[in-house]
Chain A
Amino acid sequence: MFDLSQLFSSGTVHALILPFSFDFMLQAFIVVLVISLPMAVLSCYIVLKGWSLMGDAIAHAVLPGIVLAYLLAIPLSIGAFAAGLCCAITTGFIKENSRLREDTIMGIVFSGMFAIGIILFHQANTELHLTHLLLGDVLGIQTSDVIETAFLAVLVLTVLIIRGRDLMLLIFDPQQAKITGINVQFWHYGFQVLLALTIVAALHAVGMILSVALLIIPGASALLVTKQFSRMIMLSSIIATGCSFFGVYLSFYIDSSPAATIVLLMALLCCSMFCFKLYADKKLVRSELAGHPH
């Protein structure tokens, strides 16, 4: 008994709560948890709508905005947001005026913008680290960044809570949505604005490239196991927050990149859910075959 309590008081517990005793770790936990919620909710809509690659496109397209904003000395998020919006509008415009497929157009627009961003970046000799922009820098985050991220996250979440039903109708049945008086065009772009806002918010935490993962994987994993929308949102939020928390926690011990660890955890979870689903389906088929012999 004595041994056990000593073990808990000194060694194990101390080692387990060690990450929480550092300020930068605490901030990292807060940021990651705060940002993963709106992303999880958005990811449900994205997965159902088939817009996964829109997130990818916007995430890449913010780079020139960030570099320009740095050069003009305005807040980086404003530049990033403007660039993301610009990408979305250009994509929509070209789509309406040509016969190319949407995915092709997205590919062209975002890679073009990304290339411009890289050229600007090379020319500007900024103090920004390209790797930090691309991959996030959650451990070196500032308090002002935390506040900004939280503000954006709350904003997106509020809009989603208030207007979630309209968006859902829009996704499942645009015709019906039009009839009931929802401005389809407006919300089409509105959704992209939300997407851009979330990505901008996630820039500090997980970087441009891995924010795409956070926008797809939770929703997709949830869709694998449930068909009810409300349950799907719940599940995807749980997955996202849980993985974010443990990702940062784990990365402290194995000294890896936090953002990559988060995404890797999510991918593992998604993979195991997929296998479980395969197994369950097979079992179902077998039991049905056994129940109805022909």
Chain B
Amino acid sequence: MLKGWSLIADALSHATVPGVAVAYMAGLPFSIGAFVSGGLAAIAILFIKQRSILKEDVAIGIIFTSFFAFGLFLLSLSPSSVDLQRILMGNILAIAPWDSFQMLVISFITLSFLILYWKDLLLVFFDEQQAWAVGINPNKLKILFFACLSATILAAMQTVGALLVIAVVVTPGATAYLLSDKFKHILFISVAIGGLSSLIGTYLSYFIDGATGAVIVCIQTICFAIAFLFAPKQGLFMPKKQRSQGSKEQYV
């Protein structure tokens, strides 16, 4: 989130659709197809960005829409294969035990990677030059990070669907960033928000009989709105004094 990669998550989640479609036709497990096409999309984005004058956001836009269109094209050619709505919206209530096992493994690997490397990652994100100087290879870490990201997105897709993945990846981090300055605190708060909102969201969706993924995202968005309005330092309403003081200090 701090790196300005918010929309990569969105792009990757859209880009997995053709993978799912192909995997379905070939009778392979969904997750392999989704992972492969997500990886292809990530590589294509990096390649276009390096080799042409187009900006990164344009590259992301082109790649994910083309992948998505390709997926829809495949699906429209072979109707009645996969339930499109299920890919797009996710279906948390119909998750098979095998899927939840997959998800556990993915979460575990991602978490342990983040814990092992989080200092190096931090350095790469905030100061690439410095990272080179210290002897870390940023590209390698970036690729690893992307792999983790796409694995996580994959896991998230099955629960909230391709269209809402971005909210789950971005919103908790952004909310935490409004509340705190320290990276450690940000991580902690964001994990707390993510976990709690998923719990409450699932619980609520049982009562209002709504789409679970959407309810979770709504709760996270409400959290963000509250943080935006009332956060101690960055909030809009609370700290008029502090905010003006801060800006004065800047001028001085």
Q: What is the interface of chain A, defined by CB distance below 8 A to chain B?
A: 47, 50-53, 55-56, 60, 94, 97-101, 103-108, 111-112, 114-116, 118-119, 122-123, 130-131, 134-135, 209-210, 212-213, 216-217, 220, 223-224, 254-257, 259-264, 266-267, 270-271, 274, 277-278
Contacts and interface: CB of A to CB of B under 8 A. Distances in A.
Given A47-B54, A260-B73, A213 B66 contact: yes
Nearest to B162: A209
Interface stretch (B34-42, B56-64, B129-137, B146-154): B56-64
Contact of B76 (A47, A103, A104, A260): A260
B91 interface: no
Contact of B217 (A97, A111, A123, A262): A111
A241 B4 CA distance: 34
Contact of A119 (B55, B61, B72, B214): B214
A255 B73 CA distance: 10
A98 B234 contact: yes
B84 interface: yes
B66 A47 contact: no
Interface majority SS (helix, strand, loop, mixed), chain B: helix
Contact of B10 (A107, A112, A118, A274): A107
13 contacts: A98-B178, A100-B177, A107-B6, A107-B7, A107-B171, A108-B170, A220-B54, A220-B62, A224-B53, A260-B73, A263-B68, A267-B69, A267-B70
B85 interface: yes
A155 to B, nearest CB: 25
Contacts of A103: 4, 6-7, 57
A101 B6 contact: yes
B68 A210 contact: yes
A108 B163 contact: no
A254 B68 contact: no
Given A53-B60, A261-B73, A212 B214 contact: no
Nearest to B170: A107
Contacts of A108: 167, 170-171, 174, 221, 224
Contacts of A259: 69, 72
B164 A114 contact: yes
B69 A210 contact: yes
A107 B53 CA distance: 25
Contacts of A134: 88
Contacts of A131: 84-85
Interface residues of B, number: 57
A257 B214 contact: no
Given A100-B178, A103-B6, A220 B58 contact: yes
Contact of A278 (B51, B54, B62, B221): B51
A272 to B, nearest CB: 12
A46 B71 CA distance: 25
A63 to B, nearest CB: 9
B210 interface: yes
B72 A52 contact: no
B193 interface: no
B228 A115 contact: no
B46 interface: no
A111 B54 contact: no
Given A107-B6, A256-B77, A263 B65 contact: yes
B61 A212 contact: yes
Interface in B147-190: 163-164, 166-167, 170-171, 174, 177-178
A264 B61 contact: no
Given A108-B170, A134-B88, A223-B54, 14 more contacts: A50-B57, A52-B58, A52-B60, A60-B163, A99-B177, A103-B4, A103-B7, A111-B163, A114-B214, A115-B214, A216-B65, A220-B58, A260-B76, A277-B52
Contacts of B116: none
B103 interface: no
Contacts of A255: 76-77
B20 interface: no
B191 interface: no
Contacts of A104: 1, 4, 6, 170, 174
B230 to A, nearest CB: 12
Contact of A56 (B9, B51, B61, B211): B61
Contacts of A47: 54-55, 58
6 closest Cβ contacts across the A-B interface?
A112-B221, A267-B66, A213-B65, A111-B167, A263-B69, A257-B76
B208 interface: yes
Candidate in A50, A210, A256 with the most chain B CB atoms within 10 angstroms? A256
A260 B72 contact: yes
